[in-house]
Amino acid sequence: MKTLSLLIGLRLREMFSSLLRGPSRGGKRRSPVVMVLLALLLVYVAAVFMFLFFSVFLVLWIALEGAGLELSFFFGIAGLLTVALCVFGSVLATQSALYQARDNEQLLSMPLSPTLIMLSRMIFLLLINTAFAAVVAVPAFVVYLMLGRPGLLSALGFILFFILLSVLALAISCLLGWLVALVTARMKHKNVFSLIFMVLFLILYFVGMGALSAGLESMEMNIQPLVEAISPYLAVFLWVGRALLYGDVLAALLFLLVFAVVVGCAFLFLSRTYLRILTTNRGSAQYTYRERASKQCSATGALVKKEISHFVGNATYMLNEGLGLLFAVGISIYFLVQRDVVLSVLHSMGLASASSVLVAGVLSLCASMVIISAPSVSLEGKNVWIAQSLPLSGGQVLCAKAYAHILIASPFFLLASVLCAIACGAGPGELLGILLLPLSCNVFCAFLGVTMNILFPKLDWLNEAYAVKSGAAVMLTMFGMMLICGLQVVLLLVLAILGLPALVVMLLPSALFLGLSAALRAYLNGAGARRFSSL
């Protein structure tokens, strides 16, 4: 038990050290102001998501009660969303934390049971899963308290239910992680498989969420068909609802039985295969070297190529920081295919004349979700000595990270902008605006990401996924950009309603983004470069 707590403490220290300590070699503690800002950011992020889920659960409860339907469906949906969010949020991180952690070999060489090592990693992952689960569970609990008025026992049962759900989600994540590790063990292009796996998972998630959202929209009119259609798939979660609402002991026991079987089987299976997977050298994929003439490029070009190689070589990196690219292209294709429907909706809202402005705003929102550059300094990790010892200025290294971001994302936004411009029948002026706004937002996001990361670098990670997913710079850039772009959409609408020409409306924020980008670039070449050389 003592060893287990030591191992868990090790993981926790790794996680918190980036937040508590600065990037300098001495590991100086961050100032209280920075700590407070980071805490506020975390609260803001959690609040945004919790508010979204709260709205969904509130509508759901009222609709179910209004239609006189079984309220256990509420728990079914809440349970499903919890498990889906936990699994989606942690499957690749679970795989890399279990099987690819840098200290696996070191720990295996110590007199520690492999099951204990695995368990320590699982418990740490459970903490992350519980945090994900809380984003869904807290709003569901608030709605349950407000409208369900449960007794103390039911309230405690609800909390226990969600803790068990995060354990269940962890078991599923671990099994999926094991599957990914097994399939990719000898693959040349592991990242391609992981990418396809996660994109399919993502599509499934969003199709499911889309269907649920469409169902919720039509709830007040007719919720019964939705409940009847989904209920059979939610049986496990519905049992909990019945146990909490009606004190159905049998339903509670059935849930606990399913939970115990799934979690027990997953744990037994993983503990039996863990050591074998870690210690069996299945041999890496074979590569044949053929000498080819290489083209000489500039130092900045070489840095940009290196950054792009890093991005396309890591599925977790691509999915977490490049998701907005998929959204941009997906939205533009949807708009082109469903042009008439979308335009008629805009027409009914009195926004038909502002369609090009809105489209540009939506694409720039997608651009705000592309944060490729945000973990790029942290990802240097132990390799930071290379850039520092080569004849490269800090500004050159940092700006190359932003350029790589811009180069990767721009083709996607160009394509999306052109498709959207065709869909809304934009003239040359509007086309220019639709092209310029998302691109300038993308440029700003690229420079902001690097700036945030040079201010909040985390170089001593044990697992690359940690730098990619949960660094302070990633959070600050993502939510900062979402806030800025959200405000920008409001500004665009106000300017459009005031009657300014569409091109002018789109050029104003574009110019602002480019101006701010120039300021950030100057910072990276000055103070940012000095910070880089002292990392």
Partner 1 sequence: MLHIEHFSKSYGTKKAVDDLSLSIAPGEIYGFIGHNGAGKTTTLKACCGILQGDCGRITVGGLSMQEDPLGCKRLMAYIPDNPDLYDFLSGIKYLNFVADVYGVPADLRAERIRLYADRFELTKDLASPISAYSHGMKQKLAIVAAWLHSPRLIIMDEPFVGLDPRAAHILKGMMREHCDGGGAIFFSTHVLEVAEKLCDKVAIIQRGRLIAAGPMDEVKGDGSLESVFLELAGDTSLGGQG
Positions that interact with partner 1 (CB under 8 A): 25-26, 284, 287-291, 293-299, 301-303, 305-306, 309-310, 313-314, 381-383, 385-386, 388-393, 533-534
Q: From the CB of 462, what's the least distance to partner 1, in Å? A: 13
State which amino acid sits at residue 486: G
Which CB atom, from 193 or from 206, has the smaller least distance to partner 1? 193
Question: CB of 313: closest distance to partner 1 in angstroms?
Answer: 4
Residue found by looking up tokens 């049962």 in the block: 157
Nearer to partner 1, 216 or 459 (CB): 459
Distance, in Å, from the CA atom of 391 to the CA atom of 331, rounded to the nearest integer, reads: 43
Dihedral over alpha carbons 161, 167, 172, 176 (to 10 degrees)? 150
Q: Quote the least distance from Cβ 384 to partner 1, whole Å.
A: 9
CB atoms within 10 A of CB 54: 18
For partner 1, the closer CB: 19 or 299: 299
- In angstroms, give the least distance from the CB of 354 to partner 1: 44
Of 235, 114, 92, the C-alpha closest to 173 is: 92
Give whichever of 291 and 340 is closer to partner 1, judged by the CB atom.
291
Q: Which is nearer to partner 1, 398 or 505 (CB)?
A: 398
* Continuous H helices in 67-113: 72-99, 104-108
Nearer to partner 1, 330 or 381 (CB): 381
Shortest separation between residue 383's beta carbon and partner 1, angstroms: 5
CA 369 to chain centroid, in Å, comes to 9
- Alpha carbons 185 and 285: distance in angstroms, whole number: 9
Pick between residue 281 and residue 348 the one whose CB is nearest to partner 1.
Answer: 281
H or E element, residue 145: none
Least separation in angstroms between residue 477's CB and partner 1 is: 22
What are the distances in angstroms from CA 324 to CA 5, 357, 416?
39, 19, 11
Enter the tokens of residue 501.
């020409």
> Are residues 444 and 368 in contact, defined by beta-carbon separation less than 8 angstroms?
no
Q: How far is the CB of 289 from partner 1 (least distance, A)?
A: 4
- Type of residue numbered 284: S
In angstroms, what is the minimal distance from the CB of 228 to partner 1? 50
Residue located via tokens 């009847």: 228
Judged by beta carbon, residue 55 or residue 383, the one nearer partner 1 is 383
Quickly count: other Cβ atoms within 10 Å of residue 411's Cβ: 11
Cβ at position 275, least distance to partner 1 in Å: 22
A 10 A CB-CB count for 348 gives 9
User: CB of residue 306 vs partner 1: minimum separation in angstroms?
Assistant: 5
**Closer Cβ to partner 1, 391 or 428, answer by number:** 391
How far apart, in Å, are the Cα atoms of 462 and each of 17, 61, 94, 108, 126?
12, 43, 13, 15, 18
Q: Which is nearer to partner 1, 338 or 533 (CB)?
A: 533
The CB-of-466 to partner 1 minimum distance in angstroms stands at: 15
Tokens at 471, concatenated = 């660094």
Q: Minimum distance from CB of 288 to partner 1 (Å)?
A: 6
**Within 218-322, where are the H helices?**
219-222, 224-230, 235-246, 249-279, 299-312, 315-321
Nearer to partner 1, 294 or 348 (CB): 294
* DSSP codes, 179-205: HHHHHHTT-S-HHHHHHHHHHHHHHHH
Tokens 């924020």 sit at which residue? 509
Query: What is the C-alpha separation between 275 and 171, in angstroms, rounded?
Result: 18
Q: What are phi and psi of 260, to 5 degrees?
A: -65, -40
Contact 405, 446 (CB under 8 A): yes
Provide the 8-state DSSP code for 375.
Answer: T
Answer for the pair 255, 239: CB distance below 8 angstroms, yes or no. yes
Of 332 and 396, the one with the shorter C-beta distance to partner 1 is 396
Contact 460, 383 (CB under 8 A): no
